[in-house]
């Protein structure tokens, strides 16, 4: 009968216990923390995708012109619904910009400025002097492309690349329109000031 080397058994048992404790107290907390970060990032991205859908729906509704032949009572009911949808779109834009830090923090590389540009552009459109129809049309177009960028499948990569370029183009166009609005507003202020100066001189 072979003899048992109890020293070897004890050493192996101690080593196994040490490894188990090391994993439990050192590696496991880091793995759990990493798992939580991944889950939080996935949740934030799903929330952003849901927010894009939530703002695209009222935007699509508001971008449709009312038929001229619509009856008066029906027209009033539709206008009331359009007011409700506009408020829904405004509130969603506000929520997105308020939670921008959480959404942007889950992305890496080029995706960070892309997501930030989308959120701030949508919010800027809502604050602009554009008509409700123009705001809705721009937000719908932008959200449609952004949805493809974020939620498109791997086999849709060519379409996602095209959507990304379209997002960049729409953001640039919105910025240019905003600059034109600012210049027009400054021109109006200068015109009013000049008229005030002229009026003041005439009164003397």
Residue 204, pLDDT > 50, answer no
* Nearest residue to 130 (alpha-carbon basis) of 56, 57, 184, 186: 184
Q: How far is CA 76 from the centre of its chain?
A: 32
> pTM, whole model, 2 decimals?
0.72
Predicted pLDDT of residue 198: 40
d(CA 149, CA 165): 10
* Nearest residue to 88 (alpha-carbon basis) of 139, 124, 142: 139
Number of structural domains, the chain?
A: 1
Identify the band that residue 13 occupies on the pLDDT scale cut at 50, 70 and 90.
Answer: low
The rounded percent of the chain whose pLDDT value lies above 90 is 43
CB 40 within 8 A of CB 49: no
Q: What is the pLDDT of residues 99-154, one digit of tens each?
A: 888 878 777 777 888 899 999 999 999 999 999 999 999 999 999 999 999 888 88
d(CA 131, CA 65): 12
Q: Given phi > 0 = left and psi -120 to 50 = alpha, else beta, which region is 154?
A: alpha
Q: Has residue 196 been placed in a domain?
A: no
CB 166 within 8 A of CB 72: no
Burial (CB count <10 Å: 0-12, 13-18, 19+), residue 103: buried
Contact partners, residue 100, CB within 8 Å, separation at least 6:
116, 119, 120
Identify the band that residue 203 occupies on the pLDDT scale cut at 50, 70 and 90.
Answer: very low
* Nearest residue to 97 (alpha-carbon basis) of 56, 125, 130: 125
Q: What is the pLDDT of residues 170-200, one digit of tens each?
A: 999 998 887 777 666 566 555 555 555 444 4
* Widest CA span in the chain: 126
As a whole number, mean pLDDT of residues 6-31 equals 59
Q: What is the pLDDT of residues 63-84, one digit of tens each?
A: 988 888 888 888 889 899 999 9
CB 122 within 8 A of CB 96: yes
Q: Has residue 65 been placed in a domain?
A: yes
Q: How far is CA 145 from CA 5, 22, 160, in A?
A: 70, 48, 8
Q: How far is CA 44 from CA 139, 170, 193, in A?
A: 21, 24, 49
Residue 136 structural domain:
24-175
Q: Has residue 155 been placed in a domain?
A: yes
Query: Taking the alpha carbons of 145, 150, 153, 155 in that order, is the dihedral positive or negative?
Result: positive
């Amino acid at each position: 009968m072979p003899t048992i080397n109890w020293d070897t058994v004890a050493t192996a048992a101690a080593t196994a216990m040490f490894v188990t404790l090391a994993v439990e107290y050192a590696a496991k907390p880091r793995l759990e923390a990493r798992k939580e970060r991944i889950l939080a990032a996935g949740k934030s991205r799903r929330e952003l995708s849901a927010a894009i859908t939530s703002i695209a729906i009222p935007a699509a509704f508001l971008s449709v012109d009312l038929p001229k032949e619509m009856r008066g009572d029906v027209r009033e009911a539709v206008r009331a619904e359009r007011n409700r949808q506009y408020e829904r779109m405004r509130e969603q834009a506000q929520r997105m910009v308020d939670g921008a830090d959480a959404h942007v923090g889950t992305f890496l590389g080029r995706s960070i400025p892309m997501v930030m540009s989308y959120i701030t552009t949508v919010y800027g459109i809502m604050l602009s002097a554009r008509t409700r129809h123009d705001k809705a049309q721009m937000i719908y177009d932008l959200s449609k492309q952004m949805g493809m960028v974020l939620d498109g499948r791997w086999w849709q990569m060519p379409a996602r690349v095209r959507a990304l370029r379209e997002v960049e183009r729409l953001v640039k166009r919105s910025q240019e329109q905003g600059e034109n609005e600012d210049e027009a507003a400054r021109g109006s202020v200068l015109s009013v000031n000049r008229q005030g100066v002229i009026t003041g001189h005439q009164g003397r």
